[in-house]
Chains A and B, each alone.
Chain A
Amino acid sequence: MGSTKILIVDDEHIMRESLLGWLERDGYAVDAVASGEEALDKLKNTQFDILLVDIQMEGINGLEVLRRVKEDDPDVAVVMITAYGSISTAIEAMKNGAYDYLLKPFDPNELGVLIEKILEHQAQIRENLYLRDQYRERTRFESMIGQSKPMQVVFDLICDVAPTDSTALITGETGTGKGLAAKALHTHSPRCDGPFVVVNCGAIPEHLMESELFGHQKGAFTDAKETKKGRLELAHGGTLFLDEIGEISMRMQIDLLRVLEDRVFYRVGGTQPIEADFRVIAATNRDLEGAIEKGDFRKDFYYRLNVISFQMPSLRERKEDIPLLAEHFLHRFTRETNKAIDGLSREAMDEMMLYDWPGNVRELENAIERAVVIGKDRKIQPLYLPFYCARHFSVPSDDSLKEMEKSHILRILGENSWNIARSARILNIDRSTLYSKIKRHNLRKAD
């Protein structure tokens, strides 16, 4: 309580003193000034949690103090003190951001309760700000990792969109984490306790799609030996995630559109209408507007899905997240494989930062997994990275034996950190032979 600072602004000495004495006994750090000018002056150097400001004062009056204080610090709680008869002014002050007003003289309990309420409110604001900051600063959002600006924009969007029940369309290149974003939308929505049902529209053959989505009645077709609930039905109370929606057939688009509009569907072979309450999130790496122009995607279905949309940034657009992502995957895979790898070498990190990552985070994840599996050093070296190998040790266009030998030796040397003895052993030649081949092929250790 002692850390709560209260400033009393009142031109009546007796009011100032009695309020100051009362609040001091309550354990607050209290200061008092006799005018608006003094208050603004004091506020330049000292921060207060609560201001108790008399409305009627000569010079800068209470309303003006309120206006200027709020300009500088909207979070400070200003309570206006007013005499009976000036309530309309007090109400005007509240419209301008005052927390509340007290009518002089006020009940001691009223003052105490109000101050406690303000402190609780401020604590709540601080907590919210803290949580918001945590949200912003944290490197992980669900399994999404990123401190970069584009990812913070995505996190903010997820925070804003998740609580709504609107259909969302997530676009972005392959491997950018569209599925993770969809999951994050679900887990931060009021439906989080419900199911999160994924339909990979690109992976389910068209002839099975109808049954997968809508379910089927026993005997609806030859293989329908049991009645089966479809994914739409399973998603009741939760979220239906339609991944790779750009791959869905025109016919299925019509069926789904109808479901999205009516929230009612029939199982294949069924006659009973089934109502299911779910939120739809769709994702695609395709240019759906282009697909509409080409006649591959229905415009009405697109607009039904595209109520809220956002794009996942490519890894190229957030390269500053690469070290964080790499560390994360490295930690995960070293734990899974039980390998003693301390980290990434600076050279490996430099290579990763220079690379364009067309497969985005998924490619990075795979690269680190491979490097952990094949790595033999305490630190991951560039040559363990697939894109590096592909660039430096690509199969020669010249299929001559000489080129093949050169490429093979270079790869083995690279994988063994140019440890000659170990490389020679793997190549099944002696060290002197290896030295002579290195010289002959003019091989050099990569920088």
Chain B
Amino acid sequence: MIDREEYRIVISPIGDIESALSDSISSEVIRIYGFRTEILSLIERVDFALDPERRQYFSTLILEKLAAVAPSRAVKVLGITTADLFIPILTHVYGEAQLGGKTCIISTCRLDEGNPASRPADFFRRRAVKEAIHELGHTFQLRHCPERSCVMHYCRSIADVDRKSDQLCRHCRVMLTDEIQRLGIKKNPG
């Protein structure tokens, strides 16, 4: 068993990300996943992932790059970017994660979508936090959850994102605990 204290979830803002957003995501990640976090910009730019035709950024390439530069203390890495992300088969993605892997990324590019009148207060931060917890969940082997209020629920619309909570449901919490045990990491005494 490895001590959880030795590990960090590294939160890597890429480019122009407000520190308040990184901090907010960081505190929620600690609350949900029980690991210490470290805000550390691992890469400055994502130009290498730009598809000139689509004028979007290929998120899978960014994940590979983040994994390559991640410090050994990073149990997981979460990238935050303002770039519009895609994977080749889809028009766009809000984020991507390596299922059961080390890295994930979220994009804030489309988080201001939806009807402005129906947006909750502080909607941008809340959406970003939910996306971050969601994508990190995939790195811990969590799949999309049918429970609509669970943060691992895959939302078909931004309004659904606003409706779901920023919590893991009971089932996903159990799956997370199992995965952390499987990784050989000691449970936090707290």
Contacts and interface: CB of A to CB of B under 8 A. Distances in A.
Nearest to A8: B89
| Chain B contact residues, majority secondary structure | loop
Which of A14, A105, A107, A113 gathers the greatest number of chain B CB atoms within 10 Å?
A: A105
Given A109-B156, A112-B154, A112-B156, A22 B90 contact: yes
A21 B143 contact: no
B60 interface: yes
A111 to B, nearest CB: 7
6 contacts: A12-B88, A18-B88, A25-B97, A27-B144, A105-B91, A109-B156
Which of A22, A25, A105 gathers the greatest number of chain B CB atoms within 10 Å?
A: A25
Contact of B90 (A2, A26, A111): A111
Contacts of B154: 25-26, 112
A113 B157 CA distance: 11
B90 A18 contact: yes
Contacts of A26: 143-144, 154
Nearest to A28: B143
A303 interface: no
A24 interface: yes
Contacts of B146: 1
A104 B89 CA distance: 6
Contacts of A24: 99, 143
B40 interface: no
A106 B87 contact: no
Nearest to A108: B90
Contacts of A106: 89-91
Interface of B: 60, 86-93, 96-99, 138, 143-144, 146, 154, 156-157
B138 A25 contact: yes
A14 B91 CA distance: 14
A113 B60 CA distance: 23
Contact of A108 (B88, B91, B99, B138): B91
B89 A27 contact: no
Given A25-B143, A27-B144, A105 B156 contact: no
Contacts of B157: 109
Contacts of B96: 21
Interface string A150-190: 00000000000000000000000000000000000000000
B143 A22 contact: no
Nearest to B145: A27
**Interface range on chain A (Cβ under 8 Å from partner):** 20 to 34
Interface string A11-32: 0101101110110111100000
Contacts of B97: 25
A24 B87 CA distance: 14
Given A24-B99, A112-B156, A105 B89 contact: yes
Nearest to B54: A105
B61 to A, nearest CB: 10
Contacts of B92: 107-108
B164 to A, nearest CB: 15
Contacts of B88: 12, 14-15, 18, 104-105
Which of A18, A107, A111 gathers the greatest number of chain B CB atoms within 10 Å?
A: A18
Contacts of B90: 18, 22, 105-108, 111
Given A108-B93, A109-B156, A109-B157, A22 B87 contact: yes
A25 B99 CA distance: 7
Nearest to B100: A24
B137 to A, nearest CB: 10
Nearest to B138: A25
B109 to A, nearest CB: 14
B91 A107 contact: yes
A19 B89 contact: yes
A22 B94 CA distance: 12
Given A18-B90, A25-B97, A108-B92, 19 more contacts: A2-B143, A12-B88, A14-B88, A15-B88, A17-B60, A18-B60, A19-B89, A21-B87, A21-B96, A22-B87, A24-B99, A24-B143, A25-B99, A25-B138, A25-B143, A27-B143, A108-B90, A108-B91, A111-B90
Interface string A181-211: 0000000000000000000000000000000
